[in-house]
Structure formats: structure tokens, C-alpha cells
Structure 1
């Protein structure tokens, strides 16, 4: 695939490095929403200890990891499908269910649409309103459900950061069940919240067979290069997903890293506390820069309207790239425009470098 046709996501450090030269360590990547605390020592040690085991096939059933996921998230093992990242499971899901029409909010994570299109589905958008801070209107979505086979909900939504309570999710799932519509809820960023139990809909799995939960472990545990995620749904659909995927789709290193990650209570608590403080510090710093309108974050990323800077996203992206800083240009999100960028929340030192660069660029010095 050529660079021009490659999917546009955050975190494309390699393209930036090829363009500018230098090493990965010289680039500050605010375009990918990864835990700023980085790799935990428990995972690092587990990976070292696991190297010799890669001469064998991975455990095809992922038994140890499913056991740990079942314990940590209070779900049944027969509800779990392991994925080479949550994105793989989006594609497996769409290929197995063969939906004719799929509803996605706009804006939201682009791979929902890509996975649906890859299986031949038509896409309908439910546009979120910037004037309403991109709040997801459950009743509005419900009106479109009669003609929809699958609706994707990202909670909190990427890139807006808006959250739905589990009560709101249940309202949607219940209305969708009437129309035999599947609701796929992506909870990949909920791990960053101290009160994630207020938002997760895992407790609804026993009640609704049209609910599917997707969850990535790569963002919270800072292992996107390993690829690891899982889905939760009724056992019958879990069996269908297993039938539709590569039996060895999750490699040994990823499985073992996942077990170590879920046992690392110190890292989990430290990460949640860290993000809670640092995301608000960064938000308040952004508010001091004339022309920026950041949306209040819930987790480890912030959407920003830059219209009043008289710059468009691509211009600001290029200006920051000259400072070796990557951001996410949001102009290719349906429902957004060249007036929007998204930044990740990183360490206080790295956040300060971003703020200093933004002050310099927007202040007109460059």
C-alpha cells in the first residue's frame, strides 16, 4: 500500500521519521492516545521471560489470558473472543454478521466505518453537534434504528471524549433489540477512568444478546506495537467470531503481556490517578492560548477547535512537525472539518513542550 492510500490515523511515527530523518525517540507523538506512563516493568519482564516460548505456537484458546480477563472484568470466559487488537475484531464481526446498513456517529473512530465497508455494508451517519459539545443523543439515534443492522458506539467517544452512562447505553440497547439491531460498544478508553464502573455496560451482557463490547488493551497498557484486544458478547456469537478468525491471531508475547498487565494493580491505579490530574492541567493550559477552544477531556486525549487561530489543521500540523511534535489533524473525520485537531495527554514535561510550541506558532512568531 502506498503512503498516499494508507489509512489516516494518529501514531504514524514511521512516516514522520521517513520524512524528516532522525529516530523515533526524537519525535513527540501527541497524535496517538497511549498511556504516557509507558510500558510497565511487569510487562517488560514478562516479555523478556517469554522470548524462548516463541519457538512454539501460541495457545490457540488463549486460556490464561481469558482466565485473567474473566477475573478482572467480571465476565464469563465463554463471552470472550481475543483479538490482534480490537480493530481486528471489528473486521471479523462485520465479515461474520454481514450487515447491510451500519450506523456510526460522526465524528468517531474511523475503523468502524472501514470494517463495515469492507464487508459490503452501506454507512449511515448520525452527526453530532459541536454547539452541543458533541453530546450523543440516544433518542436521535433510536429513530434511525429500524433500518440499521449494527450501530457502533465509542464510549468515551474518540475524538470528542464524550461519555455515556451505562444507563444511557442500556436505553439504546433495549430499543435496538426491538429492531434486531446489534449495538457494538467500544470501551477501549474506559480503563483510564477511576469510576469506569459508572460507564461500562458489561453487566448488561446477560440481559441483551444484541450487545457486543469491544475493548483494546493496547492504549491503557502502552503496547500498541503488540496488538491486543478482546470482544464480549453472547456465547453463540462468540463461537461465530471464533470461527471467523485466524486460530492463532494473538501471539504468545501479546497473550503473556496481557496476563501480566491485568495483574499489575499498582500500574493500573497510578495510571488512572495520573491521567485524572494531567489531562485537566493540559486542558487549562490550552485555555490560556488565544484562538484555541479545547473540549473538556474525560480520558487521555483532547479535541481542539482552532478556527479562531486563522490556521487550519494541516497548517498547524506542519508547523508543529517542525518542532518534532505530531498531532492528529481531524479534517478527515466525517462530522469535523479543518478547524479541528486532537492531541494526546502525555507527561507534564512533554505537555509543556507542546504548549510552548503552540504559544510560539499561534503567537505569530513563526
Structure 2
């Protein structure tokens, strides 16, 4: 596996440049540009005096809030210290021998699989088809694997599958005993996810597992919160393997508050859908770069014609206190790609201005 580094590593940038993190504009992490909701801040402040006690091992209130927001029965939910903990827990407890992942996709699927001793197979997405999955070819590649991971939407490409597409995969693999893990962590950013989420398919397919992060949409990656939804036997295995206090009291309180915050959710959806289209249009107008149409709050960009590698462009933008995601360590991509998050309009303008300046000096 390639060396995998995530976006959002402000601490490394701060140490390297000896500049405080507040001076950077971080386009490398795909976090809600509206920032933390007030409901989250108030909930954490209210919960702070109670960290003298252990967290609720069953996370009852949090599971009830997840049920309220996503319609998933509480008995099907396993909460985690971020979605990544649940991904590793899945691989550790279910012990797949062979795992299929798309390339490019979120690198922790592969890392978790390899950490559990699994062999990893790639299905390479093609730039000429805008990195879309060919269902027929994907199903062929899935023959004989124990587990597969699907990002929906996929990070970093932004591609979406409708739930009927995922149902086609589930039907084709019914007799294969293949676990189908669908990561819906970015679906909250859509205006309406009903055409894409496969939550309602959980009772129909015992081999379906859904992963969901709450840290991206609710802008709390430093707090860490996510969950898995699965059938009863898989949920029991996950509960048996996890730390009893894996989600701290502050994260549980924050999760309850934000999941009931309808105003923040609706404002975020409207804002991101509008601003992502504006940023995509502005990026498309720049010479020498090719952005791919975004579905949610991040945009993949081909920079081949700039003459810079992804690392070179990243380093040059850092001189303007701007961080972008160098995508060269994604399997299936190269040093011709970067990814940027969607941020506030004035922040997006700073990115555009910096790109124009850097490219004018090439």
C-alpha cells in the first residue's frame, strides 16, 4: 500500500512552517464550511462538568438521536470514536480474508483491511468515465471477496450511486456471503439523500453494513463521532469487540444536540449546494486545471496542464497560507491531482486568487 496521509493535518503544517494554525486556510479537510453549530458548543459546555463520571457505555441517548435522524433501529447501531474506529472494528471482528476497494477511495478501508490480515484487491476507476463505477465490472471483481467497501459519495472523486445501484450489487452477491460496507459519511450534504441512501435496505439484506461519520457535516473532527448500522449478529460482534467507553461524554452530548438541530442541517445543505457550484464554475474558468463536477463539499482537480506536480502546487499554495490535499498517494491517482474542500465564499476567493498567481508564475 502507498504511504497514506490525510488532509486536515494542520499541526504538521504549523510545526513545519512555524506558523499558528489560525493563519492557515485549510482546504485539505472536507469539513462543513459553516463551522460548528451553536447547539454543539452549548451541549459540550453543559456536559463538561460531568466528565468526572464515565460515559454511558450503551450511548442510549445518542442512539435514540441517530434513530430519530436516520430511521435506524437502536439495536442496529454501533457508535464509534469516528467512523474510522468502526471501519477498523469491522475488519478486526469480521476478519475478511479478501477485501475489494475502489481506487481511488478513502485510504482507511485498505489500511483497516490490511491491519486485520486481509488481502486487498483494487477496482480501478477511470478518469475518462469521470471515475464512475461500472456496476457489471464491479460485480465481476467482487466475486470471491469476503468484504467490499463503497464510498457513497466516493472520496475523493465525489461520485454517487443511487440506492438502486447498490441494491443491484446486493442482489448479485446474495449467494456469495460478501459483506457490502457502504460509507454514507458525506450524504448529509445533499439536498435530499433519499435517492442515494440505502438505510431502508438494511432489513432486506443481512450482508449490508452502513458506515456514517458525524464529524464532517457537523464540523467536529477533533471530537470524533460516527456509527455503523448492521443486522443483529454483526452488531453483537461489533459490541463484543469495542472498548466499553469508546465514545466520550462530550462527543455523546454533542451528537445528541446536533442530530436534533434541524435549522443547522437545512442551512448547511442549502449553503453547500450553492457554494460548491459557484466554486466549481470559478475553478473551471481557470486555465490549465480541470475540476470534476462535485456532488458534495469537495472537488477533485486535475492539474496536469499547470506543469506542477501535486506536491509542488501544494507547497506553493502553502506560501499563501493555503492547504490543499495532494492526491498523489491515492491508489488510482497520480501527482496530477489535488482535492479542495468547499469553504466560505471569501475563503474560496482567496484560493482562486492564489491559484491564479501561482499559475501566472509557472
2:12 is aligned to 15
1:336 to 307, 312, 333: 333
1:309 is aligned to 306
Aligned to 1:199, the other structure's residue is in SS state coil
Q: CA deviation at 1:146?
A: 2.2
Q: Distance in 2 between matches of 1:32 and 1:315?
A: 19
| 2:58 matches 1:61 | yes
Q: Distance in 1 between matches of 2:311 and 2:10?
A: 17
Q: Contact (CA 8 Å) 2:4, 2:107: kept in 1 or not?
A: no
2:236 is aligned to 239
Q: Distance in 1 between matches of 2:156 and 2:42?
A: 33
Residues 1-366 of structure 1: matches in 2 within 5 Å? Answer: 7-364=4-361
Q: Distance in 1 between matches of 2:279 and 2:10?
A: 22
Q: Distance in 1 between matches of 2:332 and 2:174?
A: 27
Q: Distance in 2 between matches of 1:316 and 1:146?
A: 40
Aligned to 1:198, the other structure's residue is in SS state coil
Q: Contact (CA 8 Å) 1:188, 1:215: kept in 2 or not?
A: yes
Q: CA deviation at 1:98?
A: 0.7
Aligned to 1:342, the other structure's residue is in SS state strand
Q: Distance in 2 between matches of 1:235 and 1:221?
A: 28
Q: Contact (CA 8 Å) 2:4, 2:330: kept in 1 or not?
A: no
Aligned to 1:91, the other structure's residue is in SS state helix
Which consecutive residues of structure 1, in runs of 5 or more, have no partner in the other structure? none
Residue range with higher mean Cα deviation, 348-357 or 175-184 = 175-184
Q: Distance in 1 between matches of 2:56 and 2:178?
A: 33
CA deviations 1:93-135 (Å, max 9, x no partner) are 0011111100000000000000000000001000001000000
In the TM superposition, structure 1's runs of 4+ consecutive aligned residues that sit over 2 Å from their partners are none
Q: Distance in 2 between matches of 1:217 and 1:101?
A: 28
Cα RMSD of the aligned pairs, angstroms, is 1.0
Q: Distance in 2 between matches of 1:220 and 1:323?
A: 27
Q: Contact (CA 8 Å) 1:145, 1:179: kept in 2 or not?
A: no
Residue range with higher mean Cα deviation, 155-164 or 167-176 = 167-176
Q: CA deviation at 1:324?
A: 0.6
Q: Distance in 2 between matches of 1:229 and 1:199?
A: 19
Q: CA deviation at 1:7?
A: 4.5
Which consecutive residues of structure 2, in runs of 5 or more, have no partner in the other structure? none
Residue range with higher mean Cα deviation, 139-148 or 245-254 = 139-148
What TM-score, normalized to structure 1?
A: 0.97
